[in-house]
Structure 1
Amino acid sequence: MTEPMARTQLPNGPWQDLAIDYMGPLPTGEYILVVVDYYSRYYEIEITRTTTAEKVIKSLKQIFATHGLPYSITSDNGPQFTSEVFAEYLKDNDIVHHRTTPLWPQANGEVERQNRSLLQRIKIAQGEGKNWKEELLTYLFAYRTTPHSTLGISPAEALYGRKLRTKLPELRPSVPDDESIRDEDRLKKFKGKEYADDRRRAAEADICIGDKVLMKQPYHNKFTTPFQTKPYTVKSKTGNCTTVESPEGILYKRNVTHLKKYRTRSEASESTHEKEETTVEDMSENRDQHTMEESPVGILEPNNTEPNNTDEPENSDKPNNTDEPENSVETEVAVDRPDVSRRPIRTRQLPAKFKDFRL
């Protein structure tokens, strides 16, 4: 079951809510720390050799020395982001830490999208035999000064409130309007959500607190079933993020897409029986409606007149009935035809390739 997409609310201003993630390892053994601003879509990168919590803190200090401290940071559940050292650093700087649902990278989609663009640029530089680190700087400058499809202005203009000067000739820049940024962001997100939900046929999951569910398990081999056999109990549900408890008492946090409602054999059979009855009723209603639409109000039939006896002569001695006229005229009366469902008749004909054959 795929639930409708949940869009991230636009922050009140630039550099307030950030998303961070590591991309790598690259073939050179290096990693790239990516820090994205949710408001302006402006992001900073840091190339490192290690991914420890100490190295993350050192990189963030350099970035925060330029842009200042944010209000919150969103990350995945990597060991460097869940360590006590990293938690202590965020606490000392009064930064709220949001962690995404495990095994659901879409929850941190903004930074994941930038990772894909960076990796694509690195591949292009490698294919052209260029220094990928220098090409990344060229790409970052082009990205920061190009109008964003969602914002309508460049990320640098949304962050700094001014346009960065490029080699392209232009007039004196104007200060961007925050209301226009929000309108563009709201419109683009709504269109993206509507398209994604319609394409995935998303629907609200019927999973509530206290329900028994089955949790999806990793694929190991062809004998691996999609879901685990033992049921889990739903303890809490916030949006698409659901916390379940195993029979051993262990808590797991998963996206609702990774869960399926658990039904016993009797419940499953009752559900199947109800679906079959509903299907039969719908088919019967559709057939009756189709018959009523195709059948006319009535058909015209002649009155039952007494057939002439051809054996008798034209001028018989039989007395004429004075109640009826001599030359009776057949009248047409509308008679209702009963509703009878008829199967369509298929026209049978030989294929065109046999038209020259005598069968």
Structure 2
Amino acid sequence: MNFNVLSPVSDSVLAHNELLSEQALGRKLKIHSKQNGIPDLDGVKIAIIGVLENRNDVNYIGEELQFDTLRKSLYALFPGNWFTQIADLGDILQGDSVEDTYYALRTTLSVLIEKQIIPIILGGSQDLTYANYRAYDSNAPMVNIVNVDSNFDLGDSSIDMKNNSYLGKIILEEPFNLFNYSTIGYQTYFNSQEEIDLMEKLYFEAYRLGEVNNTISLVEPVMRDAHIVTLDLKCVKASEVGEKQKYSPNGFDGKEICTISRYAGISNKVSSFGIYEYKPLYDDEATAMLIGQIIWYFIEGVNCRVKDDDFKDDINYQKYNVLIENEELIFYKSIKTGRWWIEIPFLPNVNNKLKKHTLLPCMHEDYVEASHGKIPERWYKAYKKNSF
């Protein structure tokens, strides 16, 4: 594979790394350096890639990106009791055009995903999610995206794509590989009523900030069904980040955003994770450290993954049937982890996206509500989406 599009980690970061404790995370990484080139990826499970592209930010005024401060913060952290090998492959530089950068990112991610290496993408503007999504064209027939964001980013698909309108392009451009899109932590006043109505009409999932603040565990089953997780740093409240990064007084605090990141890591399906809208400032160590900790918790989650969704052998699960009106809802509970799923039936007479019945991650509360005669909303939306 040709990784020529990747620029090595800077010498100043590598010099800083040499001064760290032998136990620090940075000393345990396989790092792309000018001296040694791209590291051998045999045995690597997670690869960090920076993308120095922000020209499609609607507020772009020519500022340059760099991830040196961020890397220094991440490298200085101590790893948990981890068994996964991690590589830092350096940065993808801006291409002659934004499309060139998209192409470089898409082809790089496609190879990593095929090798079952999970990329952690550092951005840059969030329209890079579009290139991330396109990397799955040859790897997965149907893709689920979870966006941790205060905005839906639907935008106007009739005009050129920007960081606040990439979703419209994903939905409307062939090949149509998007099955589900979920937004975690949206804030109503940042989204037009038309966008909110369209999310509802497409049976996409949207969880308001207050809803997630009250019950953060509802994020777990949503993440369990995701292939791509894209995180916009504007969803973090202004008091948690540096001067240039401040966006809204309301948002997730540091603890919540790290919990959400860990849920993404724990998911057996998540195969790429992007952190976007980083706006570096020379003395802003708080934002760099927060991103470092978000990445740390994602890696921690990956190390805690448990294969618990094998329902071929009934010694691995308990099955529950619930009758509501004319519907029979079938729930499965993993004996190993206690996590729950609900079956989405196959509709043979409909030109649907699913070729067989499939299992949708859910919570124990969904089973309890179904037992009291209430159809779970996640099941309803998945069922309706499958009926298109």
- What TM-score does the superposition give when structure 2 sets the normalisation length? 0.24
**Bigger Rg, which one:** 1
Task: Give the strand-richer structure, 1 or 2.
Answer: 2
